[in-house]
Amino acid sequence: MSAPAHPFRTAFWDIMTDVQDPSSATADPGGASVEESRVAVVIEDEEDIRSLLSTVLAQAGFDVHGAANGADGVDLVREHRPLVTTLDVNMPGMDGFETAKRIRAISSTYIVMLSARTEEIDALQGLEAGADDYVAKPFRPRELRARIDAMLRRPRHVAPSDDAEPAASAPSDGVWLEHHGLRLNAETHLVTVDGEDVELTRSEFDILADLLVAGRRVRAKSDLALMLRGDQYAVSDFVSDSDARAIEVHMANLRRKLGESPSQPRWIETVRGVGYRLTA
């Protein structure tokens, strides 16, 4: 069978040889519970790329549902409550950025945005919309699997379903980290400021938890970037300028949601040229 003539599709056709045989696919990656439903949603308007992504995720043990546009994708996320969602940026009608915002409003699914647009501003816009990772096309299936495995090693907050009854009070179990009226519970994934709940994305929560544990020790942007991708103990500690800039975007969003001024910080201070730490 000959490869498609379209150059972009040809690239994807070529890397299909990199997809693992189903029999060699790894079982459950570290951090994912075996009892947890491994469901994935693929939102991609090009059928051949949607098929490739579905194959990669199916071989990783996911039950995969696909959609060709953002509106149908949001409906699938609402219906199936996936653990992982891949999302194309350039789609007709509702684009990937708007789709990510709508998904994030109803779900805590891990969102991986995929796009041929490789400008830094596109990646930053994706992260601001609520994505957990941004992968440039064409990608290697093994790289995508590795990125997803890294995300699954991070604690996941399970969003309540639409028909779930609200809890009467905040859970009291688990260890609370506190600093000047800011409280965080890693087990229940709760954050409060002066008693008021604060909704954070997974990346923002993980950054805040890391800083609270570090206390007055400075956490460099590279440290936080490696922590987010699950590589803090990896041999290779390379962090790109884009990764560092992504940390700055997450930090700006975190401060905005906490109601903190960078010039007069109550909780997190910037150590210019280095990173961040808790205020005294």
Q: Tell me what pLDDT residue 173 has.
A: 54
pLDDT tens per residue across span 128-181: 888 888 888 888 888 888 888 877 776 554 444 444 444 333 444 568 999 999
**H-helix or E-strand containing 104?**
helix 96-106
**Closest by CA position to 116, among listed 149, 94, 91:** 91
Cβ(277)–Cβ(266) below 8 Å: no
**What residues have CB less than 8 Å from 121, skipping those under 6 apart?**
none
Specify which residues 140 forms β-bridges with: none
CA-based R_g, the chain, Å? 19
Secondary structure of residue 267 in the 3-state scheme: coil
Query: Cα separations (Å) of 163 from 78, 159, 229?
Result: 12, 12, 33
**End-to-end distance of the chain based on CA atoms, in angstroms?**
66
Where does the pLDDT of residue 103 fall: very low under 50, low under 70, confident under 90, or very high at 90 and above?
A: very high
DSSP 225-252: HHHHTT-TT-S-----HHHHHHHHHHHH
> What is the separation of C-alpha 220 from the centre of its chain, rounded to a whole number of angstroms?
20
Give the 3-state secondary structure of 67-101.
ECCHHHHHHHHHHHCCCEEEEECCCCCCCHHHHHH
Q: Tell me what pLDDT residue 76 has.
A: 96
Q: How many CA atoms lie within 13 A of 144 on its CB side?
A: 30
Give the 3-state secondary structure of 19-48.
CCCHHHCCCCCCCCCCCCCCEEEEECCCHH
Q: Tell me what pLDDT residue 231 has.
A: 61
Q: Tell me what pLDDT residue 155 has.
A: 57
| Sign of torsion over alpha carbons 107, 109, 115, 118 | positive
pLDDT tens per residue across span 188-212: 889 999 999 999 888 889 999 999 9
Q: Give the range among 83-92, 164-173, 266-275 with minimum mean pLDDT.
A: 164-173
3-state helix, strand, coil in the chain (%, to 5): 40, 20, 45
Query: Cα separations (Å) of 139 from 18, 19, 84, 99, 244?
Result: 10, 11, 17, 21, 21
pLDDT, the chain, mean: 79
Q: Which residue has the tokens 């098929």?
A: 51
Average pLDDT in the 75-89 region?
94
Cβ(90)–Cβ(96) below 8 Å: yes
| Sign of torsion over alpha carbons 44, 205, 106, 127 | negative
pLDDT tens per residue across span 8-52: 444 444 444 445 444 333 434 344 443 347 999 999 999 999 999
